[in-house]
């Protein structure tokens, strides 16, 4: 194996500083892409879709759970995939294992759910085995996957709700998902973003200083949070 050279502390620090400048530029470019994402045009979803959940069927607006924004991850767990019925797509499992705590997304008016073609009894068993009990996971009942580009591959669709009206705002799949999973990367996909005042967002978007809304995941909804 051909390895980098061993150098003095001064040489190492100079090389690290040079790399750091590129890393900072990469961060600024990611912020600029997120700003463009918040300005993408939207498409109204006029078709009705039904999803099976542990407490019965819900429609697409119902997946929002009362919140304004929704991220839907198509998890390939169904007959014909991998070692069904014991497991599903290993890539989808890797993605799900890397998800941050969903309470932070909920605090920004975002609901995250997964959908699969598997029956609820199999989803319940597999979710418990993998330790994903806190992630809402629904069964697709119709052609939602075909209509939103995830019939043959995993992917993330993002939606915005205004009353009963739902619009699709973003979609990504393939290797793009490798960098997604923590609360910040998921919020950067949403139409309202992180909702912090440093962001480049359209006029009138909700924004506040960083740290002000941040809580430990079991502290949201407390008296301090309400204040």
**Residue extents of the structural domains in the chain:** 42-204
The predicted pLDDT at position 225 comes to 53
Longest dimension (CA), the chain: 64
Mean per-residue pLDDT of the chain: 93
For the entire predicted model, the pTM comes to 0.93
CA distance 120 to 137: 8
SS3 207: coil
Q: What is the CATH number of domain 42-204?
A: 3.40.30.10
User: Tokens representing 13?
Assistant: 């620090």
CA distance 53 to 121: 10
The predicted pLDDT at position 111 comes to 98
Mean pLDDT of 182-190: 94
**DSSP3 helix / strand / coil % (the chain, rounded to 5):** 35, 20, 45
Residue 85 burial (CB count, 10 A): 16
pLDDT in tens, 11-65: 999 999 999 999 999 999 999 999 999 999 999 999 999 999 999 999 999 999 9
Q: What separation, in Å, do the N-terminal and C-terminal C-alpha atoms of the chain show?
A: 57
pLDDT in tens, 102-160: 999 999 999 999 999 999 999 999 999 999 999 999 999 899 999 999 988 889 999 99
């Amino acid at each position: 194996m051909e390895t980098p050279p061993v150098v003095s502390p001064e040489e190492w620090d100079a090389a690290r500083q040079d790399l750091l400048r590129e890393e900072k530029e990469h961060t600024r470019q990611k912020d600029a892409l997120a700003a463009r994402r918040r300005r993408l045009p939207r498409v109204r979803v006029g078709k009705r879709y039904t999803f099976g959940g542990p407490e019965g069927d819900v429609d697409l607006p119902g997946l929002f759970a009362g919140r304004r924004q929704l991220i839907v991850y198509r998890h390939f767990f169904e007959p014909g995939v991998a070692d069904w019925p014991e497991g599903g797509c290993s890539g989808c499992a890797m993605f799900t294992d890397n998800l941050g705590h969903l309470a932070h997304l909920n605090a920004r008016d975002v609901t995250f759910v997964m959908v699969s073609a598997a029956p609820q009894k199999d989803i319940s068993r597999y979710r418990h085995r993998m330790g994903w009990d806190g992630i809402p996971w629904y069964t697709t009942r119709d052609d939602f996957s075909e209509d939103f580009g995830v019939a043959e591959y995993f992917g993330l669709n993002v939606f915005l709700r205004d009353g009963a009206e739902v619009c699709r705002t973003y979609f990504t799949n393939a290797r793009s998902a490798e960098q997604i999973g923590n609360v910040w990367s998921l919020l950067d996909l949403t139409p309202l973003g992180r909702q912090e005042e440093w962001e480049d967002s359209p006029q009138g978007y909700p924004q506040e200083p960083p740290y002000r809304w941040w809580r430990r995941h079991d502290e949201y909804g407390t008296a301090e949070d309400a204040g």
